[in-house]
Amino acid sequence: MGDVTARTPEGRTATPSPIEEAEDRPAVRHTLLARLRAPRRPRLWFEILLIAASYWTYSLIRNAVPEQRGEAMRNADWIWDWEHRLGLAFERSVNHAVDSVDWLVVGMNYYYATLHFIVTIGVLVWLYRWHPGRYAAVRLILFATTGVALLGYYLFPLAPPRLMTGGGFIDTVVLHHTWGSMASGNLADMSNQYAAMPSMHIGWSLWCGVTIAVLARPVWVKTLGLLYPVATLVVIVATANHFWLDAVGGTLCLSFGFTLSYAWYGALAHRLPKRVAVAGPEPTPEPTREPEPAATGRSTAVWERSHTEPGRPAPQPVDAEAVSSPPAAPARAERVQP
């Protein structure tokens, strides 16, 4: 029951060959996969809902990771020790130097608190407006970067330098009474304090910087794009929110995002078309019009009658010269005299 049959030319029924069905299925799957991979114009309402839901889910999972304070402190000591061995333990010196200039450290606190979101959202809006064909591929890089960072928070809990015991770092937000960190002051209960590795401040700022540098046209805009992640690195170190090795972790997460986007779309995002044509119904082909009677030699009356009377069979072509000129009279035979 439920067998598929096909009628043969002789009127008999036959079951389709399973080999033929197997050959059709990969073609269908290939077509569906190609449609999913093809760049398409983003929808504004869908993008707003997607970004809001994704960030809410990311924050929920990030904050749900057990803080594991003891392990986070041990990991911070381990990283600090390794940076000393490498001769690159410069975070404390930068932290104290910047803290000596009030206006500078306060500005960095607000930089850390705000630009992380403002610039990222601004780049997304710019992509949506001016590069809709590349938007989905670049957005996938950002989402994949953020998603894989959750593994780091779970597998490697890490205390930021300002929370280390005996590290000698200054918590610039607490000292200067500014709003610059979700893990300082009264906001500490709203965020996981020991999710410092990898640094998504670096992951997101580097995503913004690379996107702007590659897709923007003015040289000064490209330059600002490249300087943005550099400035962010200085800020996260100066405010003692991250080790520089946290920035390395954020860069590795971004590399995973680029790899996933390339594997899915089969090309780097900037090589995709800038704009995507809006899909619509195919234009109806115009009916072909026969040439005017002057070009074919058919009489005007016959041509008009064949095109104004529907259902009438098309008449045989008539020579225009034969219609316009009377028939020639038959030649008379001359009488021959005997």
Are 153 and 195 in contact by the 8 Å Cβ rule? The answer is: yes
Token digits of residue 55: 């960030």
Model pTM score: 0.70
Distance CA 133, CA 276 (A): 5
pLDDT in tens, 1-46: 444 444 544 555 555 455 444 444 554 455 766 666 666 677 888 8
Distance CA 72, CA 51 (A): 30
Higher pLDDT, 312 or 269: 269
pLDDT in tens, 92-132: 999 999 999 999 999 999 999 999 999 999 999 999 999 99
Contacts with 132 (C-beta within 8 Å, 6 or more apart), sequence order: 41, 42, 274, 275, 276
Give residue 318's Cα distance to chain centre.
65
Segment (H or E) for 190? none
262 DSSP 8-state letter? H
The amino acid that residue 123 corresponds to is V
Q: What is the pLDDT of residue 158?
A: 94
pLDDT in tens, 42-92: 788 888 888 888 888 887 877 777 768 899 999 999 999 999 999 999 999
Distance CA 59, CA 180 (A): 17
Q: What is the pLDDT of residue 6?
A: 46
Strand partners, 7: 13
161 has pLDDT over 80: yes
Are 265 and 37 in contact by the 8 Å Cβ rule? The answer is: yes
Higher pLDDT, 301 or 224: 224
pLDDT band for position 291 (cuts 50, 70, 90) = low
Q: What is the pLDDT of residue 142?
A: 95
- Give CA separation, 325 vs 302, 318, 329, 331, in Å: 16, 13, 12, 17
Q: What is the pLDDT of residue 42?
A: 76
Instruction: Please choose, from the candidates 148, 157, 240, the residue with its C-alpha nearest in 3D space to the C-alpha of residue 192.
Output: 157
Q: What is the pLDDT of residue 84?
A: 95
Cβ atoms within 10 Å of 65's Cβ, excluding its own: 17
Higher pLDDT, 325 or 244: 244
Are 196 and 152 in contact by the 8 Å Cβ rule? The answer is: no
The long-range contacts involving 335-338, CB below 8 angstroms and separated by at least 24 positions, are: none
Mean pLDDT of 176-194: 64
270 DSSP 8-state letter? G
Three-point CA angle 207, 226, 148, nearest 5°:
20
Q: What is the pLDDT of residue 77?
A: 95
The amino acid that residue 111 corresponds to is Y
159 has pLDDT over 90: yes
